[in-house]
Amino acid sequence: MKKRNHLFRYISLATIFILVCFVYIARLISIQITGQDYYTTVSASTADTHTRTVKIQAHRGEVFDRNGVPLITNSYSYNMIFDKGSVGTKNSDINDMIIQTIECIDEKGISDKLVTQTILFEGQYPNYSFNYELIDNSPSKYRKYLEKYGLEENLTCEELSKKMLYRYGITDSKGELLYDESLVDKLLTFRFDMDYMGFDVNNPYTVVEGVDIEFITLVKENSIKGTDFVSTVTRVYNQPGVASHILGRVGKIQSNKVEYYNELGYPLDAIVGIGGVEEAFEQYLHGEDGELVIVEDSYGNVIDSYVSVEPVDGKNVYLTIDIEMQKVAEQALKENIEYIAEKGEASGKKLNGEDARTGALTVIKPDTGEVLALASYPTYNLVTFNEDYSKLNEDPLTPMLNRALQGIYPPGSTFKVATAAAALTEGIITPDTIIEDKGIYTYYKGYQPRCWIYLKSFQTHGKINVTKAIQVSCNYFFFEVGRQLTIETLNEYCKKLGLGQPTGIELGESVGILAGPEYRDSVGREAWGAEDTLQAAIGQSDNAFTPLQISVYMGSLVNNGVRMKSHILKSVNEFYSDKELFSYTPEVVDSIELSPEHHTVLMNAMKSVTEDDGSAVRVFSSYPINVGGKTGTAQTFATQSDNAVFTAFAPFEAPEIVATCVIEKGANGTDAGYAVRDIFSYYFGIDY
């Protein structure tokens, strides 16, 4: 058989192979050299990147006492957040993120670190009821929530909850649960609160605060999509259990404050001051958060980041409070109340102070208006406030009430010095005027009150002047003086001295009640009669003031009739350098024209209260410095002991401080003097 000639075929194949190789080499050269710019451009233009903004939390200013002792400082820790930019918008992804997070929280037992959530529904699935407190406190915000999802305002609780469960992907279109029933309440609470707090790509949602490295590791190991951890600042109370009513706390914006802070430009998840100094000086403490811009690719990798807005730290606040005096005040008040209760119990008599449980103590500098201490008993501990809240809220003694500023009490006989000051200045009496105490005051036929000594022993104080009347606290003397003054004139002086008027302190306070026609008309009660002035003149009737107001009133008297505005702010300083930016300047609010002679008479009269046979002599017997003051025993209800009130100043020669103690159901004004004495002993370094 003839052999075939394959030479041509081999040549053809070789030629094709060489051509293909040439094409690939040429293409490779094009890609590596001439096509580089083209592919770079394509890559940049088609890359899937997105930008999000993360808040850089500003440092909150810290709080110090007048001597620079730290009261509230910052501790830096980590919070866990949900990041919508990472988790996306699918209900299933968001719900899975929440469920996995709950499992981690339960595994580590840190449910106490969960941020307090806004709850729309109370009860358990499917038996829900509306949380009307939320709806009533922030109706506009609630309406905005409904409008956002096209929900009607008149929906019943059952109708609304069903719609929300479906919208959040917790049930299907037929209302069947897509998750275990045990998870429904938690999922619904999380989803509503996240919405309510404005959760979006630019506003992460804080889940738990102050977590440790073990919890962070657990979450990272579980690779929970949409979670992250951010460095944050938490408040440290350096004097646990002391000055709690003064300092306040921080937390999420409360529902009744949402609109207020919204107008100030605060984000809904902002941490703000709640009560006390934290709220009063929010403008100085809060600072301004910054912004960090993060650029990520489609896989979530950060390809760029930069600070677009620098954070501005808050300012440090220095208070007029002396924290060591505050400790003494709180302890002295507690011991004074316990002493009265034990003494009353031991007496075997009813309504003799055995029911004393609560009270307040205030200390000021009369010449500047500085507040040195504000004690309220019972009190609480800010460090354990969250876990103690339910117990505190249910306590019938209302430990969260700041009695020093918000409790109002009849002043009793401490008021008589105001009556005397008005009568002397108006010329109704002179220092030498004598009035005879006849036991029963008979000027009015229809109303004839008795002096306290007559009620006690059928005796009288006899013929006395104003100095003696203050010393022995004679009711009859001040019935007569008050009648001649008239309630209108008496109240003019009382207002100037600070009774029934705002003290000016930056913290929330009650204004109190100044008895008279003006008050009666304002509340729609029976008309004021001339005989009503008799009780008003001795500190009874409708008169009721805060312990701080009584201190301010006494401070005005010892300060030659000049009333200073009360304040607790001493200065505002830079956060890091502590450079002083602002220092409070004492401010005169009002005054009465108290002559030197009349001032001396009143001062000597109050000094006699603590000496000789004065009502407070047993408290200050042999005390190493001279003290002036006034006791008050104020009737409240027939079924409980009278209130005990004592206000005093020291040293007598040049008063530096004024202290007032009010003990509810304390029975006898003199017995409230022991706490005041302890304050003086601390201030002047006396071991008594």
Identity of the amino acid at 225: K
335 and 466 in a single domain? The answer is yes
Q: Are residues 410 and 451 in the same domain?
A: yes
- Axis-axis angle for helices 547-558, 487-497 (nearest 10): 90
Range list of H helices, 168-281: 181-196, 213-222, 244-247, 258-263, 276-280
| Cα–Cα distances in angstroms (integers) from residue 597 to residues 186, 431, 594, in the given order | 73, 9, 8
- State the Cα–Cα distance between residues 184 and 121, nearest whole angstrom: 12
CATH number at residue 211: 3.90.1310.10
Tell me whether residue 554 is in a domain: yes
Question: What is the pLDDT at residue 382?
Answer: 96
Encoding tokens for residue 408?
Answer: 């109002």
Range list of H helices, 123-180: 132-137, 139-148, 157-167
646 found inside a domain: yes
Asked whether residue 333 is assigned to any structural domain, the reply reads yes
Strand 63-64 and strand 70-82: the pairing is antiparallel
Query: Within 10 Å of residue 656's Cβ, how many Cβ atoms?
Result: 15
Q: Which residues pair with 664 in a beta bridge?
A: 358
Do 440 and 546 sit in the same domain of this protein?
Answer: yes
Write the single-letter amino acid at 434: I
Distance between CA atoms of residues 289 and 364, nearest Å: 37
Quote helix, strand, coil % in the chain, to nearest 5: 40, 20, 35
Count of domains in the chain?
2
Identify the domain boundary among 276, 296, 319: 319
Q: Judge whether 158 lies within some domain.
A: no
- For residue 23, what pLDDT is reported? 44
Within 170-315, residue ranges assigned H as helices are: 181-196, 213-222, 244-247, 258-263, 276-280, 282-285
Nearest CA to 206 out of 272, 141, 145, 269 is that of: 269
Residues 354 and 307 occupy one common structural domain: no
Q: Is there a domain that residue 31 lies in?
A: no
Q: Are 247 and 382 in contact (CB under 8 A)?
A: yes
Q: How far apart are the C-alpha atoms of 363 and 684, rounded to whole Å? A: 14
Residues 311, 343, single domain; the answer is no
Residues 613 and 525 in one domain: yes
Strands (E), 540-656: 562-564, 569-573, 580-583, 588-591, 628-634, 643-650
Q: Using CA atoms, how far apart are residues 374 and 547, in angstroms rounded to an integer? A: 9
Nearest of 216, 197, 214, 217 to residue 205 by alpha carbon: 197
The answer to whether residue 23 sits within a structural domain is no
Q: State which amino acid sits at residue 98.
A: I
Residues 441 and 527 in one domain: yes
Domain of residue 338 covers 323-684
Nearest to 650 by CA among 616, 670, 605, 680: 680
Tokens 């075929």 belong to residue: 9
Distance set, CA 579 to CA 315, 316, 527, 573, 594 (Å) = 10, 9, 57, 5, 41
What's the average pLDDT block by block, 10 residues per block, for the chain (688 residues)? 45 50 46 40 53 81 97 91 89 96 96 91 94 86 88 92 95 95 96 92 89 92 90 88 96 88 86 95 92 78 85 95 98 98 95 97 98 98 94 96 98 98 98 97 95 95 96 96 97 98 97 96 94 96 97 98 98 94 96 97 97 91 96 93 98 97 97 98 94
- Reference 539, options 483, 475, 495, 480; nearest CA is 475
**Do 557 and 367 touch, CB atoms closer than 8 A?**
no
SS3 state of residue 453: helix
pTM reported for the whole predicted model? 0.77
Whether 110 maps to a domain, the answer reads: no
Q: How many residues does the chain have?
A: 688
Q: CB–CB of 413/470 below 8 Å? A: no
Give me 201's structure tokens.
Answer: 């790509």
Give the helix ranges, DSSP H, for 348-432.
385-394, 403-406, 416-426
Structure tokens at 596: 């030197």
278 and 381 belong to one structural domain: no
In a shared domain, residues 336 and 258: no
Q: What is the rounded distance in angstroms from the CA atom of residue 657 to the CA atom of residue 304?
A: 61
Query: What sign does the dihedral 221-224-226-230 (CA atoms) show?
Result: negative
pLDDT at 256: 87
What pLDDT is stored for residue 299 in this prediction? 63
**Longest C-alpha distance within the chain, in Å?**
165
Is residue 500 within 8 A of residue 506, CB to CB? The reply is: no
**Residues contacting 129, CB < 8 A, separation 6+:** 121, 122, 123, 157
Summary count for the chain: helices (H), strands (E)? 27, 23
The residues, any chain, with a CB within 8 Å of residue 164's CB and separated by 6 or more, are 188, 191, 192
Same domain, 302 and 346: no
Point out the domain boundary residue: 299, 319, 339.
319
Residues 339 and 213 in one domain: no
Phi/psi for 427 (5° steps) reads: 80, 15
- The helix (H) or strand (E) run that includes residue 558 is helix 547-558
Inter-residue contact 117 to 269 (CB < 8 Å)? no
Residue 635, domain CATH:
3.40.710.10
**In the prediction, which pLDDT does 88 show?**
85
Q: Which of 297, 319, 341 is the last residue of a domain?
A: 319
* Residue 146 belongs to some domain of the structure: no
Say if residue 527 is in the same domain as residue 665.
yes
